[in-house]
Amino acid sequence: MEKVFEIYIKTTPERLWEAITDPDMRAKYTFGVRVENDWQVGSEYNAGTPDGRILMNGENLEVDAPRRLVQSFNALWSDDVKAEGTSRVTWEIEPVGDSCKLLVIHDQLRDGAHGEIWGGWPQILSGLKTLVETGETLTTPGSLIYANA
C-alpha cells in the first residue's frame, strides 16, 4: 500500500530542508517528537519524546539535500503499530516559482495497514506549512501531544 501527500509551501528548498531536518523545528510540527539524525546515507535515526521515549526509528536510505530524503520507518508507539513492521517515507522537494512542492510518499505498507502509521501526515504537513510560512505552530488537538511528555 502507498499513501501520497502533496502540499505547496511558500519557501525555498533550503529552508524547507532545514525544517525537515532540524530537530527543534521538526518537533514543532511532528506532535512534539524530535528526530535525531546526522542526515548521512546509512545512518540510523531515532524520534522520541522529551522524556526519552523512542516512538519511531529507521535508516537514511537516500539523502540529496535539499531535494530528496528517503528513510525506512518503524513505528514503535504501540504494539499494534510495531506489528506493522518497516515501511518507507520519501520527502521530495521541487521548487515552483517562489514556493516549493513537497511530496511525501509513505509506501511499502501492507494492504490494510494500521491507520496510525500513515494517518498523521495531513496534520504534520499542515503544521510544517504553518511553521515555515508564519513561524507559528498549530494548536489543533493532538498537534503537540508529545511536547511535554
pLDDT of residue 68: 98
Give the 3-state secondary structure of residue 101. strand
pLDDT of residue 117: 94
In this prediction the pTM is 0.93
Q: How many CB atoms lie within 10 A of CB 14?
A: 12
pLDDT of residue 145: 73
pLDDT of residue 149: 56
Q: How many CB atoms lie within 10 A of CB 39?
A: 16
pLDDT of residue 1: 95
Return d(Cα 84, Cα 95) in angstroms, integer: 34
Q: Residue ranges of the chain with pLDDT lower than 50?
A: none
pLDDT of residue 72: 98
Return d(Cα 61, Cα 11) in angstroms, integer: 25
Return d(Cα 18, Cα 138) in angstroms, integer: 19
